[in-house]
Structure 1
């Protein structure tokens, strides 16, 4: 599963030695993002953010992107775009975004190799430094 970085800014251009693996999208996640884009033509893709929340400390949030932002890396797979703010790359570097079915429910699933603890309900995670 090969992603392409489609946008970088001055920070990335001046710091080429950052050893990031990046964020990848599964085919299923890319397909769902494209469905969202097709429903609402002004959407460019989805953006991942992280906020403090839940019993484990951190939670992922996905939001629609309507215009490109500064200090963001954009990963693309099968034309689906995932926008990632540079400031969260150390936390989610190497993460795979999937879109799965669990019973009757569908949801995005974050497979983050840096997340060392997840709460019981699966809504939050913790990273030990």
Structure 2
């Protein structure tokens, strides 16, 4: 019988990933950002512990490739994801949406079990 106090572990290099997908709108927005800054290789999507639900998405500009990055490309736009984030992000569709005056990247993550009320954080 397993000990309930043990934490499960995994080796991310031994998994087969579905990957992440960029919608056409997300790829277009990333390509626009890349065109404005010649040092920009794409964007990086990671996660960090945060909020009441557990994790938050972290989006940053990718100006260099990290040794553990996986790259997902669509229409010339690059999305970099650290290997350690894949167990939480695998299968996610990244979209770019407009809501009123706001424009933002939106993450359709099939692994999300719950999210906080404000939408700041999620749990898998």
Normalising by structure 2, what TM-score? Answer: 0.87
CA shift at 1:57, angstroms?
Answer: 1.3
2:22 to 16, 21, 25: 25
CA distance in 1: counterparts of 2:16 and 2:82, whole angstroms? 16
CA distance in 2: counterparts of 1:95 and 1:104, whole angstroms? 25
CA shift at 1:18, angstroms?
Answer: 2.6
Alignment RMSD (CA, Å): 1.3
- Residues 72-125 of structure 1 deviation map (CA, whole Å, 9 limit, x = unaligned): 110000000000111110110000000001111110000000001011111110
CA distance in 1: counterparts of 2:117 and 2:101, whole angstroms? 20
CA shift at 1:71, angstroms?
Answer: 1.0
Count of residues in correspondence between the two structures? 113
Matched residue SS, 2:79: strand
Normalising by structure 1, what TM-score? Answer: 0.83
Which residue of 2 is the match for residue 102 of structure 1? 99
Which of 1 and 2 has greater Rg? 2
Q: Which runs of 5+ in 2 are unaligned?
A: 1-11
Which residue of 2 is the match for residue 59 of structure 1? 56
1:71 to 68, 71, 79: 68
